[in-house]
Amino acid sequence: MQESKLKNYLLLHLIVFIWGFTAILGALISLDAIPLVWYRMSLAVVFILFYFLFKKKSFKVDAKGVFKFLVTGVIIALHWIFFFKAIKVSNVSVALVTMSTGAFFVSLIEPIFFKRRIKTLEIVLGLIVILGLYIIFNFESQYKLGIIYALISSFLSALFSVFNGLFIKRYEADTISLYQLLFGVLFITIYLLINNGFSTSFFEVQKSDWLYLIILSSICTAYAFIASVKVMKYLSPYTVMLTINLEPIYAIILAIFIFGDKEKMNPAFYLGAFIVLFVVLLNGVIKNRTVIRNKIKEKTVRKK
């Protein structure tokens, strides 16, 4: 049992490392954000379709589910477009630190859909995150557009995460992913058709870009998704949350090694980044302690 936990814990770290590598690939691929996301989602759909066929899984979904996945598929497509735009106009470090604000956005959105009160602590922590971003924004003014794009991407990420939190109660995770990716591709395809985006140059992809796109769509999207679902069956939410919060750190370290001076920032950036990442980590620790405490209380009440 202990060996199984260790194996899955190491696998989780690999998954988080892979997610962090997504940003690196986004910087390495020469395509603009929209074609990059179109290729990523299209290829990921193909890989997950093969997975469904291999596992002989059913594609059947009710009409309400189709509509839900249509809406969230569009949100996910926009989230990735703004994410890669942020990387293209700034760098990996700025984009990922700003993306860490997702926890703050979730704390504002979640109460609306789960019908609970907004907690004062979440607002306080959110304000501290804004302080960290202000420090970055103020001292790295050349990256303002990248920060704005990353904030939009972070909000959209929080939005579809909350929706998926509702969907997972009724639908299987791989089914949700397949249809959301499919509808995301269709959304971008319609946009490109309207704007005559499917030119000859759109399909002229460099060999190195093809390699990066295949890695991005197969390992970083299809595999990481399926593996993460498996891992969550064996590890506690607390362990998963703490490990996932290492993603920006892994990616920033990788980016410094790969891109060198382009990723080296002034000391104020690292101060702001530390504030943002520390608050995100603290928020996760507090939330999971509350969950554990509530579970203990429930067990105690049952025994009585």
Give the Å distances, CA to CA, from 242 to 31, 125, 135, 209, 250: 33, 17, 25, 32, 13
pLDDT number for residue 226 = 75
Q: Rounded to 5 degrees, what are φ and ψ at 266?
A: -75, 165
Portion of the chain with pLDDT greater than 90, in percent: 32
The residue extents of the domains of the chain are 2-303
State the Cα–Cα distance between residues 270 and 118, nearest whole angstrom.
30
The answer to whether the CB of 108 falls within 8 A of the CB of 283 is no
User: What is the tens place of the pLDDT at every residue in 153-210?
Assistant: 988 988 887 787 778 778 888 888 899 999 999 999 999 999 999 988 899 899 999 9
Residue 17, burial from CB neighbour count under 10 angstroms (0-12, 13-18, 19+)? middle
Give kind and range of the element (H or E) at residue 30.
none
State the Cα–Cα distance between residues 148 and 123, nearest whole angstrom.
20
Q: Rounded to 5 degrees, what are φ and ψ at 121?
A: -60, -40
User: What is the tens place of the pLDDT at every residue in 69-91?
Assistant: 999 999 999 999 999 999 999 88
The answer to whether the CB of 280 falls within 8 A of the CB of 96 is no
Quote the tokens at residue 64: 């309400």
Kindly report the number of other CB atoms within 10 A of residue 204's CB atom.
8
pLDDT number for residue 206 = 92
Q: What value does the mean pLDDT of the chain take? A: 82
Give the Å distances, CA to CA, from 267 to 87, 136, 279: 20, 10, 19
User: What is the tens place of the pLDDT at every residue in 227-272?
Assistant: 776 776 676 555 665 566 677 777 878 888 888 777 677 777 778 8
Give kind and range of the element (H or E) at residue 300.
helix 267-303
**Exposure class string for 92-125: b at 16+ Cβ within 10 A, else e:** bbbbbbbbbbbbbbbbebbeeeeeeeeeeebeeb
Question: Pick from 233, 59, 69, 45: which is nearest to 167 by CA?
Answer: 69
